[in-house]
Amino acid sequence: MFVTGRLFALVLLGAVPVLVRPDTTTVWTWVGVCLVAAALDLALTGSPRAVRVDRVPVAPVRLGEGTLTTLLVDNPGTRRFRGSLRDAWQPSAGATGTRHRLAVPAGERRQVTTSLLPTRRGDRLADRVTVRRLGPLGLVGRQVSVVVAGHVRALPPFHSRKHLPSRLARLRQLDGRSAVRTRGQGTEFDSLRDYVDGDDVRSIDWRATARRRTTVVRTWQPEKDRHIILVLDTSRTSAGRVGDVPRLDSAMDAALLLAALASRAGDRVDLVAGDRRVHRKVVGASRTELLPDLVTAMAPLEPALVEADWSLLVSEVSRVSRQRGLVVLLTPLEPSAVEESLLAPLSVLAQRHRVVLASVSDPALTAMVEAHDDGRAAYDAAAAARTIALRERTGAALGRLGVDVLDADPEQLPVALADHYLLLKSRGLL
């Protein structure tokens, strides 16, 4: 049961008879009139359960983009339904216009829509739908809250896609001049050409030289259909925020740009995401399905306040691919976490694969180092300088294992990772 403003107005209207006849009997008589009117109105109010509410599924939407959710209100009864409805969502769904007036004739259906603008990535859930039905006098009514399941999936925004056209242009240039002088582990035979000064004599094709009676050398090109495995760390270190974005979201952005670029280059891309257990895997997706599969797999991921089990993740990489490929570890370069749990498994992984560690750095550290306004700022600068030195020491230790380390801020990391991939591709090092 709920009361409306009309009941309060009716109570206040009792001031008129009280002023005409200021007596206790007048007050109680008017109170009795109000109670009887409210009770009569409540008795004549139909049940709010007379309507049936269903929700139309909401399509996924990129974070930062809006969408609509629709409720279908059916009135299978014989009386007209007059009331209101509130479609409640969790705050991060960004629901607006959640209250709707209803007037549904008997045997008909109406639909109401609520605007959604998610402010966080992942599945944003609907709460309860509250239906209110007014009495004939409009003084009181009945209400009921029912669970109408629904959710909207906010996909990673993929801000770095603006850099994809320029990297694809560089990739086309790389394909146009893909012949390289020396053969590497990631190269395959391309063509024959005449020898020029500076060519490696080991590339001379003696049979072709004998047939053509001029010195001919083999040229090589970077192999296509190489295997790239993205390992996304969802442990506690990925929960840290750089600016207003978690490190995990920035790592996802870099992973999506690399995946889009590598799939256009004809390479296979797989994803393993986890911490102490594997939460999501995308294996064997086709070129057309790769990005949709990746964003769908990444959308519900959230950082867990546990340490990453790198032995488990490395073994999962071995299950995904036993052939040599490029393994990209998207994990923060935190000295304690890396030195305690990552170095040992990484030394084994680097012997079988080309390994790149991509880390999101905090540009606030550089700003703190450069600030010396007062004594407190000097201490902050010293602490920031020590943190940067520890990260550089850890990066150097990883470099001695043969791991390429990319440590950049959220805006530059996707670009740095894509450029590094193109560099390895051009040199035939994949």
Contact status, residue 272 vs residue 230, Cβ threshold 8 Å: yes
Q: What's the mean pLDDT in 316-320?
A: 91
- Of 129-138, 230-239, 252-261, 317-326, which range is least confident? 129-138
Question: 364-416 pLDDT, tens per residue?
Answer: 888 888 777 777 878 888 888 888 898 889 989 898 989 999 999 999 999 99
Helix (H, G, I), strand (E, B) or coil at 267: coil
Residues forming a β-bridge with 232? 273, 330
Q: How many CB atoms lie within 10 A of CB 88?
A: 16
- The H or E element that residue 191 is part of is strand 187-194
Residues forming a β-bridge with 81? 104
Question: 28-55 pLDDT, tens per residue?
Answer: 787 887 788 778 767 777 777 888 999 9
CA 68 from chain centre, in angstroms, equals: 20
- Model confidence band, residue 187 (pLDDT cutoffs 50, 70, 90): low
DSSP-assigned letters across all residues of 75-124? --SSS-EEEEEEEEE-GGG--B--EEEEEE-TT-EEEEEEEE--SSSEEE
With a cut of 80, say whether residue 341 has pLDDT above it.
yes
- Model confidence band, residue 220 (pLDDT cutoffs 50, 70, 90): low
Can you tell me which residue has the tokens 């490696």? 200
Contact status, residue 248 vs residue 154, Cβ threshold 8 Å: no
DSSP-assigned letters across all residues of 122-143? EEEEEEEEEEEEE-TTSSEEEE
Q: Give the range with max mean pLDDT: 162-176, 184-198, 256-270.
A: 256-270
Nearest to 102 by CA among 88, 87, 92, 117: 87
Cα(340)–Cα(120) distance, integer angstroms: 32
Cα(194)–Cα(219) distance, integer angstroms: 10
Contact status, residue 199 vs residue 181, Cβ threshold 8 Å: yes
- Model confidence band, residue 180 (pLDDT cutoffs 50, 70, 90): very low
| Predicted pLDDT at 211 | 83
Q: Rg for the chain (alpha carbons), in Å?
A: 33
Q: How many CB atoms lie within 10 A of CB 26?
A: 15
- The H or E element that residue 365 is part of is helix 363-370
| Predicted pLDDT at 188 | 59
Calculate the average pLDDT of the chain.
86
